[in-house]
Structure 1
Amino acid sequence: MDLQLKGKRAVVTGASRGIGRAIAELLAEEGCDVAVCARGEAGVAETVQALEARGVRAWGQAVDIADGPALQAFVSQAAENLGGLDILVSNASALVNGGSEDDWRSMFEIDMLGAVRTYGAARPHLEKAAAAQGDAAFIITSSVSAAEASGPSAYGAMKAALIHYAKGVAKEGAAKGVRCNVVSPGTVFFEDGVWGRVKATAPGFFDQMIKRNPTGRMATPEEVAAATVFLASPRSAFTTGINMLVDGAISGRVNF
């Protein structure tokens, strides 16, 4: 299937590793020009080089997502360098699962306000692209943890807030052709990720988590990226305001 993404212009935050990197690479494979950001300069530079090797324009910058002005300046510069924006993927996360004030602050600043601020900066460009071509997309990475609670969790609560925010953005943007959807992964394994570290340090617990999933495994970043890129594409032009689970049926809730 041609996803009709060739020549589109995309921004992906938190894109130097894991799910974000897989999203950026798949967008590039589909012919998108891509701008990326992450915390580390070396990781951003290596990602840009890998994207350019796929024959597209790529640009990146090291950005602290919690620094609002710097984040919005990155999005504006990305739009200038790429000649506009058709797709925004807010993927960066603080990835803290506790309940301290610092945990709440980190999840709010990076996950919640990170999405709000990137969209605020990208919105005029997305609206312009949608007016010209009929479609633009804002995709947010949330988590199955948004609907799972075993105790007070800044991570789960902020991921749930993102789903609510996305629905509002979808409602507001529909008339202008700007769609907003959420992708919520379950457990995702890659060597230098959270579950990669758990496997190395707590193999017994890792094995328990593997057994919890009916598929008998965890997702790969590429599988989450595939769902994200499909939702970002014009092939999904009438899909907006949804939360797509990519969890291998580990969750028990019914989505309707």
Structure 2
Amino acid sequence: MRSDAPASQFARPTSGRLDGRVAVVTGAGRGIGRAFALGLAGEGARVAVLSRSADELEEVVGGIRELGSDGLALVVDCMDGPAIKQAVDDAAAHFGGLDILFNNVGGLIGDLTQLVALDHDDELFEQNLFLNLTTAYYGSRAALPHMVEGGYGRIVNTGSGYAKRGGGLISYSAAKHGVVGLTRAMAYQVPQEITVNCFCPGWTETALADWDRLAVLVGSAEAARSSAASENVQQRILEAHELAPMAVLLACPESAGITGQVISVDGGYRI
């Protein structure tokens, strides 16, 4: 059973490090994206949250407001590149600028038996690449002009433990390796006041870690969860809220010297 931490977990400090800043988080209706959004709001950022589910987004916006900040829910199909760009522009227009972008949307499309190398469905390969890699391009392409205009920018792309290693499903792993390349290339090509980093979670209690779904690969949900937990030093599955402090740091002014980096919060995954 997975449960998201309450908004109070991210209680706003006396002086927020992100007061006055505006953030956009894609894939923010639940799990890691939700934790990122609440973490940013807890430091004073106004946050626009994007996903396909209006109900989930409204719950996150409620949490943002509970923390004393302002939120905006934008329902977007992130398989539509132009729609991502429009939503980012809409968020900037609503709040009067844009400082922080978390390209977090991702996951797995299709039956897992259709995603292994010998039997991979061609269309699903393209769709999984788009969901996990190309979406980050579209979000960044829309956000960068606003960041240049405002003189401040933090772009954080969500990678994976499989962004640096083999062992994952091929379309997902290829896309997440691509996120690392996108991050490093972009870091060279933006003004100094903008940083671009890749945040890599390990196994985390989210919808992506659907143990019943993963059971098809290893025999049972219990075996899937046990196998995942065994892959890191701490021998456990992390909770989404544990990822927020590092994500917030990458968004803050004091992270100005951190760019082009691949940073993991994963319990020591396959070290």
Q: Does 1:27 align with 2:46?
A: no
Pairing of 1:137-156 with structure 2 (within 5 A): 137-150=154-167, 153-156=170-173
Q: What do the CA deviations read for 1:218-256 (whole angstroms, capped 9, x no partner)?
A: 12111222211111111111110000011222223xxxx
Contact 1:57 1:82 in 2 (8 A): no
Q: Does 1:165 align with 2:182?
A: yes
Deviation, structure 1 residue 193: 4.5
> Match for residue 223 of structure 2?
204
Q: What do the CA deviations read for 1:64-104 (whole angstroms, capped 9, x no partner)?
A: 01112211110000001111011000000132462322332
Q: Does 1:217 align with 2:233?
A: no
Contact 1:94 1:106 in 2 (8 A): no
| TM-score, normalised via structure 2 length | 0.84
2: CA distance, partners of 1:38 / 1:164: 25
Deviation, structure 1 residue 28: 0.5
Deviation, structure 1 residue 139: 0.4
Deviation, structure 1 residue 156: 0.5
Q: Does 1:186 align with 2:202?
A: yes
Contact 1:87 1:138 in 2 (8 A): yes
1:95 to 108, 111, 125: 108
1: CA distance, partners of 2:129 / 2:248: 25
The AA in structure 2 aligned to 1:158 is A
> Match for residue 115 of structure 1?
136
| TM-score, normalised via structure 1 length | 0.89
SS at match of 1:212: coil
2: CA distance, partners of 1:195 / 1:149: 20
> Match for residue 238 of structure 1?
257
RMSD in angstroms over aligned alpha carbons?
Answer: 2.1
| Structure 2: segments with no counterpart, 5+ residues | 1-12
1: CA distance, partners of 2:201 / 2:260: 17
**1:211–1:251: structure 2 CA closer, same or farther, 3 Å change rule?**
closer
Q: What do the CA deviations read for 1:111-153 (whole angstroms, capped 9, x no partner)?
A: 22211111111111111222xxxx3100000001123323761
> Match for residue 65 of structure 1?
78
| Structure 1: segments with no counterpart, 5+ residues | none
Identical columns (%): 31
Deviation, structure 1 residue 198: 5.9
2: CA distance, partners of 1:28 / 1:232: 11
**1:150–1:232: structure 2 CA closer, same or farther, 3 Å change rule?**
same
